Structure 1
Amino acid sequence: MSSISFDVEKIRKDFPIFSRELPDGRPLVYLDSGNSSQKPNQVIETMREHLALHYSNVGRAMHVLGAESTDAYEGARDKIAGFVGAPSRDEVIFTKNASEALNLVAYSFGNPANTDPRFTLGPGDEIVISEMEHHSNIVPWQLLVQRTGATLKWFGVTDDGRLDYTPELITERTKIVSIAHQSNVLGTVNPVAEVARRAHEVGALIMLDASQSVPHHPVDVAALDADFVAFTGHKMVGPSGIGVLWARAELLEAMPPFLGGGEMIEAVWMDHSTYAPIPHKFEAGTPPIVEAIGLGAAVDYLTEVGMEAIEAHERTLTAYALEALREVPTLRVIGPETLEGRGGTVSFALEGIHPHDVGQILDDQFGIAVRVGHHCARPLHLRFGIPATTRASFYLYNTTAEIDALVRGLHHVQKVFA
């Protein structure tokens, strides 16, 4: 679908936040969806209605409200499974965010409770990540190395912001490769199918942090040939407090529980317990019920708009932004400067001006919300020799007029510091 048939003004009317004015009557220009997206009425009202008329705990109450709540919660699982092409709904695990999903998988490796050879890990074994990862896909593996004595290795990043993919880094000693599907700083879309092929050639497993890809592109987990995929609701017009781990059923069945408590058990004695089948084995306690239902509504919304249409619209915006930002003197884009293999996240630095100052002036004087800092990717910024960047990230509700406003704002910032 082309961007010509994409009615962005109609879409913006679904998002109540765009009807408000900031102080001094400024309109909101929201260019921070890579951090967290805004929410449409359809999601807000679905959650409000469930809280008002249907709320009860799930999976345990033998009454009408319990049945309605359970049906809505499990219905959300069905929607999400269909959205990402999961072969089975039971392969969809609800977590509180992508970070928890990544930690859940890391917990299974080197765990004495898991005797499956695919998950055994110790000195001499290797974990492979990349230099462009979010901290959520670095720190859990560092903690795993500390627990097991395994070795952490990583792919570098090229000067133009691409994955420096060297297949030889993945060896017969590699147990898992965990990389971003799309970088939250560079916008780079990594060749994950190629990496997966290499990982599987040597008997390793592969995990994808898809937090920046699932909201913006059609994603089919089976087509990617991944073993584990993590993503989060708040970046895909859904609520915070809900994330997803998708994993192949046979792997989930082999993995020990991450958390213990109610609903993840089959039976409990004083000296041992047996566990519920997947997915419930990994969903201890009262889950984020309304948040999961809200994520299901977000999936409905994105599906109705069309992921192909959203992707095409964002490509139009990104091409426009990359060209427009060239007009700003001394601006350096950190990441690919062409549309090839990239998404709608553009990070940049202005010579001699700290990103914190850029962000504050854009917000205070122009109502433009961008992200500043290292975006939970400090090693990547160290690789480029800079402490921080300014990041503009686009979504289905953004317009080229907002990019024009950003460029005008950046020209003003430079005048302030001239």
Structure 2
Amino acid sequence: MTVTLAPPPAPQPPAVADPLDVLGVPGQVNLDYAATAPCARAAADAVAELLPWYGSVHRGAGALSRRCTLAYERARQTVGDFLGARADDHVVFTRNTTDALNLLARALPAGTTVVTFGGEHHANLLPWPRGSVRLPVPPDPAGAVRALDAALGELRRPAPSGPRGAQQGPPVLVAVTAASNVTGERWPVAELARVARRHGARIAVDAAQLAPHAPVDVAALDVDYVALSGHKLYAPFGAGVLVGRADWLDAAPPYLAGGGATSHVGAATHDVRWATGPARHEAGTPNLLGAVALAAVCAALADADRDALHDAEQALLTRLREGLAALPHVLELRMFGPAAPRVGIVSFVVAGRDSTEVAAELAATYDIGVRDGLFCAHPLARRLLDEAAARGGRRDLPPTALRASIGLGSTTGHVDRLLAALAALA
């Protein structure tokens, strides 16, 4: 009898890893993306590839320095493209969103009035000069547009002796978040930008929480400045960015005085000519690996199907919010109506339970990481806690809240595990 052996199976090509896979620890459920997102494979791979070549940026003629300088400037272009930067915008690398907004605050022309809302993260409340205008949190996105229109109308009211319609006074900057870090609710940035433009004001957008979840395009939104953090955009290597109009940045004193920010330094104390462009505000050795990691994630997201990612996240967010609403004694915090557009962030309280203790028990017993506190947005978080107590008719709410946030790599299993744990704890 002749035995015919089957041919060996053809070798299969190795599986190609998804650059948007996120790194994690097996068994741990990370629901704290809004504070710091996990590292995407694209960021880790980009850093690993460049590390053997690591060298000085803008300061050497050797092969390592030339390669690193090219990688740094390519990263700048990639991040600018990802954010829809205009041809004459500057893309300045910073440490994070807070650093970027502080840089912008230092660059404001003298006498600039800054208009913000009370729903901002501290990074968009604290850097601005004294005399800034803080508007109350509106009841809905349309209310934000109306409130800004009225406030700018007062600031830009023509003097009685001036020509009809003339705009008087110093510059005005509107500074607003694109998505709340407390509730995830989205602000009507494009509409606010149109109001600012109509009144001759500029607008800066804190995109730290929106950029990981949805496209942010400076030109399409018609905004003047955008700031974000790499560590919230799956690139936790200590880089952020400020993108926007060049004139204020080029006219301002350097954010840091030092090497790289100058075009000439003479022997006399004041014989200094400062550079223009991003270099003016990037003195010292830059965070090359942070910039490259951030650019790698931007490139991976630009190549991805953002609509599909958005739909998957929204389905998961709906599951989370509906599950929380079904739990007795759990109240969600919100600024606007329950159907307002939002990204994958939910803050809530468990009536009768201290939020810090609940977070600690979730971590110790269930291996679930969430955030507790006031989320570096104390005025907003305290207001929402008071409103939740009034809405629910409760007097036993804790003084701080819990926050669960999701993104790439989050699953229905993670959400269901949190809901089951909260049901057991409550």
Class of the TM-score when normalised by the shorter of the 2 chains: 0.7 to 0.9
2:190 corresponds to 1:200: no
Counterpart Cα distance in 1 of 2:323 and 2:274:
56
C-alpha offsets along residues 37-92 of structure 1, whole Å, 9 cap, x if unaligned?
A: 111333213212312x2111111101111110011111111111111111238621
2:119 corresponds to 1:120: no
2:248 corresponds to 1:248: no
Q: What is the match of residue 169 of structure 1?
A: 151
Q: What is the match of residue 286 of structure 2?
A: 287
Unaligned runs of 5+ in 1: 1-9, 21-26, 110-118
Query: Is the 1:322–1:338 contact (alpha carbons within 8 Å) kept by the matching residues of 2?
Result: no
Partner AA of 1:133 in structure 2: E
Counterpart Cα distance in 1 of 2:181 and 2:72:
29
Q: What is the match of residue 116 of structure 1?
A: none
Number of equivalenced pairs: 379
Q: What is the match of residue 72 of structure 1?
A: 71
Counterpart Cα distance in 1 of 2:284 and 2:135:
36
Q: What is the match of residue 83 of structure 1?
A: 82
Counterpart Cα distance in 2 of 1:180 and 1:367:
31
Partner AA of 2:420 in structure 1: R
Task: Give identity over the alignment, percent.
Answer: 34
Partner AA of 1:50 in structure 2: L
Partner AA of 1:81 in structure 2: G
Q: What is the match of residue 366 of structure 1?
A: 366
Q: What is the match of residue 92 of structure 1?
A: 91
Partner AA of 1:168 in structure 2: A
C-alpha offsets along residues 277-317 of structure 1, whole Å, 9 cap, x if unaligned?
A: 21111111101011111111121232333333222221111
2:28 corresponds to 1:28: yes
Q: What is the match of residue 7 of structure 1?
A: none
Q: Cα RMSD over matched residues? A: 2.2
Deviation at 1:185, TM superposition (A): 0.4
Counterpart Cα distance in 1 of 2:400 and 2:140:
16
2:180 corresponds to 1:180: no
Match of 2:123 among 114, 136, 143: 136
In structure 2, the CA distance between the partners of 1:89 and 1:407, relative to structure 1 (3 Å rule), is farther
Deviation at 1:218, TM superposition (A): 1.0
Counterpart Cα distance in 1 of 2:294 and 2:19:
19
2:388 corresponds to 1:391: no
Counterpart Cα distance in 1 of 2:89 and 2:279:
9
- Secondary structure of the structure 1 residue equivalent to 2:137: strand
In structure 2, the CA distance between the partners of 1:347 and 1:11, relative to structure 1 (3 Å rule), is farther
- Secondary structure of the structure 2 residue equivalent to 1:245: strand
Query: Is the 2:236–2:290 contact (alpha carbons within 8 Å) kept by the matching residues of 1?
Result: yes
Counterpart Cα distance in 1 of 2:325 and 2:141:
16
Q: Which deviates further from its counterpart, 77-86 or 150-159?
A: 150-159
Query: Is the 1:161–1:334 contact (alpha carbons within 8 Å) kept by the matching residues of 2?
Result: no
2:137 corresponds to 1:156: yes
Deviation at 1:326, TM superposition (A): 1.4
Partner AA of 1:383 in structure 2: R
Q: What is the match of residue 313 of structure 1?
A: 312
Q: What is the match of residue 63 of structure 1?
A: 62
Query: Is the 1:12–1:397 contact (alpha carbons within 8 Å) kept by the matching residues of 2?
Result: no
Query: Is the 2:76–2:91 contact (alpha carbons within 8 Å) kept by the matching residues of 1?
Result: yes
Counterpart Cα distance in 2 of 1:183 and 1:210:
10
Following superposition of structure 1 onto structure 2, how do residues 376-387 of structure 1 map, counting pairs within 5 Å? 376-384=376-384, 385=386, 387=399
Q: What is the match of residue 164 of structure 2?
A: none
Deviation at 1:165, TM superposition (A): 4.8
Unaligned runs of 5+ in 2: 1-16, 157-168, 387-397
Deviation at 1:163, TM superposition (A): 4.7
Deviation at 1:365, TM superposition (A): 1.1
Counterpart Cα distance in 1 of 2:141 and 2:88:
39
C-alpha offsets along residues 99-124 of structure 1, whole Å, 9 cap, x if unaligned?
A: 11100111122xxxxxxxxx231xxx
Query: Is the 1:319–1:339 contact (alpha carbons within 8 Å) kept by the matching residues of 2?
Result: no
Query: Is the 1:161–1:186 contact (alpha carbons within 8 Å) kept by the matching residues of 2?
Result: no
Counterpart Cα distance in 2 of 1:162 and 1:203:
20
In structure 2, the CA distance between the partners of 1:160 and 1:252, relative to structure 1 (3 Å rule), is closer
- Secondary structure of the structure 1 residue equivalent to 2:214: coil
Deviation at 1:162, TM superposition (A): 8.0
Counterpart Cα distance in 1 of 2:65 and 2:89:
21
Name the TM-score, length of structure 1 as normaliser.
0.85
Deviation at 1:151, TM superposition (A): 3.9
Match of 1:231 among 223, 228, 232: 228
Deviation at 1:267, TM superposition (A): 0.8
- Secondary structure of the structure 2 residue equivalent to 1:140: coil
Q: What is the match of residue 413 of structure 2?
A: 401
Q: What is the match of residue 325 of structure 1?
A: 324
Deviation at 1:201, TM superposition (A): 2.1
In structure 2, the CA distance between the partners of 1:183 and 1:278, relative to structure 1 (3 Å rule), is same
Deviation at 1:337, TM superposition (A): 6.0
Deviation at 1:127, TM superposition (A): 2.2
Q: Which deviates further from its counterpart, 379-388 or 396-405?
A: 379-388
C-alpha offsets along residues 337-361 of structure 1, whole Å, 9 cap, x if unaligned?
A: 6453211101011111111111111
Partner AA of 2:288 in structure 1: I
In structure 2, the CA distance between the partners of 1:287 and 1:90, relative to structure 1 (3 Å rule), is farther
Q: What is the match of residue 349 of structure 1?
A: 349
Partner AA of 2:418 in structure 1: L
Partner AA of 2:43 in structure 1: V
In structure 2, the CA distance between the partners of 1:33 and 1:293, relative to structure 1 (3 Å rule), is same
Partner AA of 1:244 in structure 2: V
Partner AA of 2:182 in structure 1: V
Counterpart Cα distance in 2 of 1:404 and 1:263:
51
- Secondary structure of the structure 2 residue equivalent to 1:199: helix
Partner AA of 1:248 in structure 2: R
Counterpart Cα distance in 2 of 1:135 and 1:287:
25
Counterpart Cα distance in 2 of 1:86 and 1:175:
22
C-alpha offsets along residues 157-209 of structure 1, whole Å, 9 cap, x if unaligned?
A: 43999858512122316711111111000111101122122222222211111
Partner AA of 2:150 in structure 1: E
Deviation at 1:152, TM superposition (A): 3.0
Counterpart Cα distance in 1 of 2:332 and 2:285:
44
